[in-house]
Structure 1
Amino acid sequence: AGRFSFNELQLRLHPAASRVQKLAAAHPATFIVFDLLESDAGKSLLKVPLRERRMALEKFASKNLKSAAAIRLSPATTSLAQAKKWFDKAGGNLDGIIAKRLDAVYASGERTAVVKVKNIRTADCVVGGFRYASGSKLIGSLLLGLYDDAGFLHHVGFTSAFKTTDKRALTKKFEALRKPPGFTGNAPGGPSRWSTERSGKWEPVDPKVVVEVTYDHFTGDRFRHGTRIVRWRKDKAPRQCTLDQVAHREGRAIALL
């Protein structure tokens, strides 16, 4: 409770009502409202501009949202200076901030009047393994790891953002480094909530190579999305690549609400 966790939120996804009640008790969540599509009187606000919908939402929140434990109003501002402060305080477990046109009506499934401004950060990671591209003998992705305080190397994500022309050289390089176990802590390919089977065969390598990557979101002890390579860090020792680089700042982020 009191922190952001995409992985724990996923645990709440279940079709059975009895199971939903149990999960709600085990993993309580806070619902954050950011728009109002129908008034108290039942009038549709879909064709009303965001400026007016936000005013209606704030009135609704003032009248009905008495406790912040279960439901909260998403913060909003028209001040660029304030938005920049929020951006800096968002922490490593939030993507960034959302910018919306105040004169836009609600458009389901469209982002023509919405821009996500991501807070792109960098981290130095150790390559602990790789996966071949599907149906190929060339590398499809590199598996990234970070060390904890006890010296265990944990799998935290992947990068597949390299040129097709580079794959042959990368394959030759990392095939020569193949050596188990690769990761000594959390390893890739374990069961997930989507599958109880171990999936995604991967090849462990001697953790000697360090790579700097960019990422936008770190949650549940891993990068939520794929990362992009910035450069190879021949100047950095693998053991210097620790989880401290991506330490969560939930306290600062949750305080924005």
Structure 2
Amino acid sequence: MPPLRPMLAKASKDLPAGDFLYEPKWDGLRCLVFRDGDTIELLGRNEKPLTRFFPEVVGYLLEQLPPHCVIDGELLIATKSGLDFDRLSQRIQSTAEQVEQLAQSASASLMVFDLLALGDKDLRAEPLAERRRLLLESFGQLQSPLHLTPATVDGAVAQEWYDRFQGSGFDGVMAKPLEGTYAEDKRTQIKVKHHQTADCVVAGYRVHPEGGVTSLLLGLYEDAAEDGAEPQLQPVGLCSGFSASQRRTLAAELTDYEEGGHALHPWPDLTHAVLHSGPQGMEGRNKAWAAAISGEWVPLRCELVVELTYENFTSERFRQAARFVRWRPDKSPTECRFDQVDHPPPPEYETLFPEA
């Protein structure tokens, strides 16, 4: 039983070839599951207790798992449009009353991908190939919303997954050495994550404490409405990670776009909230976005387009800060639409997650 820390992975740009087990990389919360009779304990990264936040998952596990085991997996929330990481994050910041409500309205699932102990046998010293064999043998009949992850030893299949499974909660592909033992808290596995590009409108910037630009505030236009209404610019997140010299250069480049930024800005309510009252008064997506940019915020005329790279776009926003690539003076701001970041779930999604 706990404490125990999950095995980790190091990033790679390309899928490795050789004796690996390849699996989809899921956009969820890492979770170790410990069952000892009628007791279930869920443990996240850095030994974070998760049990009280996912009471419905505890119920599923009691119904389906062997009486004594330890498994490794990923907590997910499956919706019709894909996996929703924001709802997972909301869950672990909720009160007990809110958790009960969320468990009813947005039930979580568990994707299982490793077996660490079964009965009284500790399997961590066994090679992955043997742990996978025992996992299939003992957990092959799991029923939704508990799932056994798809896996393959065929590198060509893994590459096809990587090329085709983009967005909607598919984060990339994992490569795990078949002869590898379970090394707690060690980066002995390999993750190949998607890095995609998009063009966004620059709607403002946040000032760095030492001067210059610390973040660009990004927007995308809604798709054209059927009633002919003018598409609206929506906030989608941040672009950051600038060096000290880049911060100063960006500040000089953006100065000309500050004039009229307040009066002409398409987000007057958000501007007012960030500049004067902070994020507490905001709701929904704008609350999370405003929390990320609280501070000295300078609105700009929305005329600049930036090309950037990003990993995840979920719930109509970049979940992590995007990275600057270059300015796009050849593009009109109105060309920056949500359709460039829309990645519908692959055909297998409904089969994998019938609970969605």
TM-score bracket, shorter-length normalisation: 0.7 to 0.9
Equivalent residue in structure 2 for 1:20, among 99, 124, 130: 99
Give the aligned partner of residue 219 of structure 2.
145
Tell me the alpha carbon deviations over residues 16-47 of structure 1, each in whole angstroms, 9 at most, x when there is no partner. 554433211011122111111111x2311111
Superposed CA RMSD in Å reads 2.6
How far residue 163 of structure 1 moved from its aligned partner, in angstroms, is: 3.3
Give the aligned partner of residue 247 of structure 2.
167
2:166 partner SS: coil
Give runs of aligned pairs for residues 40-59 of structure 1, distance below 5 A.
41-59=119-137
1:209 partner SS: strand
Q: Does structure 1 residue 122 correspond to structure 2 residue 197?
A: yes
Residues 162 and 239 of structure 1: CA distance in aligned 2, closer, same or farther (over 3 Å): same
Unpaired stretches in structure 1, ≥5 consecutive residues: none
Residues 80 and 36 of structure 1: CA distance in aligned 2, closer, same or farther (over 3 Å): same
Query: Which stretch shows the higher mean deviation, 232-241 or 220-229?
Result: 220-229
Residues in 1 aligned to 2:151 and 2:158: alpha-carbon distance in whole angstroms: 8
How far residue 187 of structure 1 moved from its aligned partner, in angstroms, is: 5.0
Residues 25 and 49 of structure 1: CA distance in aligned 2, closer, same or farther (over 3 Å): same
The answer on whether the counterparts of 1:154 and 1:186 sit within 8 Å (CA) in structure 2 is no
How far residue 254 of structure 1 moved from its aligned partner, in angstroms, is: 2.4
The answer on whether the counterparts of 1:86 and 1:256 sit within 8 Å (CA) in structure 2 is no
Residues in 2 aligned to 1:8 and 1:186: alpha-carbon distance in whole angstroms: 25
Q: Which amino acid aligns with 2:221?
A: Y
Equivalent residue in structure 2 for 1:106, among 165, 173, 182: 182
Q: Does structure 1 residue 76 correspond to structure 2 residue 151?
A: yes
Residues 220 and 186 of structure 1: CA distance in aligned 2, closer, same or farther (over 3 Å): farther
TM-score (normalizing by structure 1): 0.87
Looking at secondary structure, tell me which structure has more strand per residue: 2
Q: Which amino acid aligns with 2:115?
A: L
How far residue 229 of structure 1 moved from its aligned partner, in angstroms, is: 1.8
How far residue 183 of structure 1 moved from its aligned partner, in angstroms, is: 4.7
Q: Does structure 1 residue 96 correspond to structure 2 residue 179?
A: no
Unpaired stretches in structure 2, ≥5 consecutive residues: 1-78, 226-230
Residues 187 and 47 of structure 1: CA distance in aligned 2, closer, same or farther (over 3 Å): farther
1:108 partner SS: coil
- Larger RCO (CA under 8 A, 6+ residues apart): 1
Question: When the two structures are aligned, how many residues end up with a matched partner?
Answer: 250
The answer on whether the counterparts of 1:75 and 1:256 sit within 8 Å (CA) in structure 2 is no
**Percent identity among equivalent residues?**
37
Tell me the alpha carbon deviations over residues 121-161 of structure 1, each in whole angstroms, 9 at most, x when there is no partner. 1101110111011x223111111111102521112121123
1:34 partner SS: strand
Residues in 1 aligned to 2:134 and 2:268: alpha-carbon distance in whole angstroms: 50
Residues in 2 aligned to 1:90 and 1:76: alpha-carbon distance in whole angstroms: 14
